[in-house]
Structure 1
């Protein structure tokens, strides 16, 4: 990771426009067809949430805007991406766990299981500071139509939220929300990412 001069990037105008905006976050909501992931999850005994996190990481690596993030008043370029998940811990509360993304699905799955288990047992967050982290929160037990993440003014990372998937005959759908900082990307970039996310699910 390294600090870059915003004026020397494609985000120069966005940096000037949105870095000091009181609410610089944008949220898109999309319904995905996750029939394939649900089927693979059941047949192979893989966690659905882990499959979603891998597909999110896979799609993000194909959109270059994900590798730059406003941090404080600086623009930082990263070499790698991680996906965060919220973990129910042994004290009945929740902890945060960052999983480094790997194109090698088996390796990602191993890291996901190992790190989430450790976080659950120790109740200590696992943070990766040298990767651009995509936050996620799965409210898998609840049927919701959408959610908008809170903007704290501290973390500018992109963030995704979803609830329970919905089964309709031979199709399973999942409505997700995707929140991002306008300095990092435009709506078109975000929409392209969501399209690539659907492609990653379809081609898994």
Structure 2
């Protein structure tokens, strides 16, 4: 993974960046509903809905450069690739974290994700980010809830790592839908970028 400094003098969002950097709580969250009808049908072919959702979210994050931008002091850097940090259920209850490298090929991604999630189940340590690594996004599944909004614990006002959550698959007529939320830092990400993110996630869900 490589990072590139963003030239604030030529960046089209420089004014918005300066505005929201001054906010006490610059993070915000948007929740929407996505169609997972095809994904549910793919379970019969052995496709894991959980890992497929993680993959689709990875596609969305990598399709929108702003979601791979991170604050770095007074500046901004753009990562070319980020890891997907997910919650992995422990066999004895609770959870650990597992970092999954994103691969645009679903079969390769799925194989490596399966291996890493299994290894995290029995690990003695939580495996949390120490706060130094920012080439990452945090993902969590809430299969117990068909939620309408989600908020997240944040380290501080400069915490700009995206958080993505998705809930219970819920039948709606002849379709199945899922609530998905993303929380981002407004100095880096606008609503237009989140629209593009959700569109790409939906495209990936329809093609896995």
- TM-score, normalization by structure 1: 0.88
C-alpha deviation, 1:142, in angstroms = 3.0
The alignment of Structure 1 onto Structure 2 pairs a total of residues equal to 203
Q: Check if 1:20 corresponds to 2:11.
A: no
| Residue 64 of structure 2: aligned partner | 63
Q: What is the rounded CA distance, in whole Å, between the counterparts of 2:165 and 2:123 in structure 1?
A: 25
The change in CA–CA distance for 1:165 and 1:4 in structure 2 (over 3 A counts) is: same
| Residue 166 of structure 1: aligned partner | 170
The change in CA–CA distance for 1:172 and 1:83 in structure 2 (over 3 A counts) is: same
Q: Check if 1:53 corresponds to 2:54.
A: yes
Q: What is the rounded CA distance, in whole Å, between the counterparts of 1:190 and 1:168 in structure 2?
A: 24
The change in CA–CA distance for 1:171 and 1:182 in structure 2 (over 3 A counts) is: same
Please state whether the residue corresponding to 2:63 is helix, strand or coil. Answer: coil
C-alpha deviation, 1:186, in angstroms = 0.8
| Residue 187 of structure 2: aligned partner | 183
The change in CA–CA distance for 1:8 and 1:123 in structure 2 (over 3 A counts) is: farther
CA RMSD of aligned residues (A): 2.3
The change in CA–CA distance for 1:98 and 1:6 in structure 2 (over 3 A counts) is: farther
Please state whether the residue corresponding to 1:137 is helix, strand or coil. Answer: strand
| Residue 134 of structure 1: aligned partner | 137
CA shift digits 1:154-177 (9 cap, x unpaired): 632111112211023421000111
Please state whether the residue corresponding to 1:203 is helix, strand or coil. Answer: coil
Please state whether the residue corresponding to 2:149 is helix, strand or coil. Answer: coil
Which ranges in structure 1 are unaligned for 5 or more consecutive residues? none
- TM-score, normalization by structure 2: 0.86
C-alpha deviation, 1:13, in angstroms = 1.8
Structure 1 segments, 4+ long, off by >6 Å, are 128-131
C-alpha deviation, 1:80, in angstroms = 0.6
Instruction: Note if contact 1:78-1:130 (Cα within 8 Å) is conserved in structure 2.
Output: no
Please state whether the residue corresponding to 1:164 is helix, strand or coil. Answer: coil
Which aligned pairs between 1:83-94 and structure 2 lie closer than 5 A?
A: 83-94=84-95
Q: What is the rounded CA distance, in whole Å, between the counterparts of 2:54 and 2:164 in structure 1?
A: 10
| Residue 39 of structure 2: aligned partner | 37
Instruction: Note if contact 2:29-2:150 (Cα within 8 Å) is conserved in structure 1.
Output: no
| Residue 149 of structure 2: aligned partner | 146
C-alpha deviation, 1:184, in angstroms = 1.7
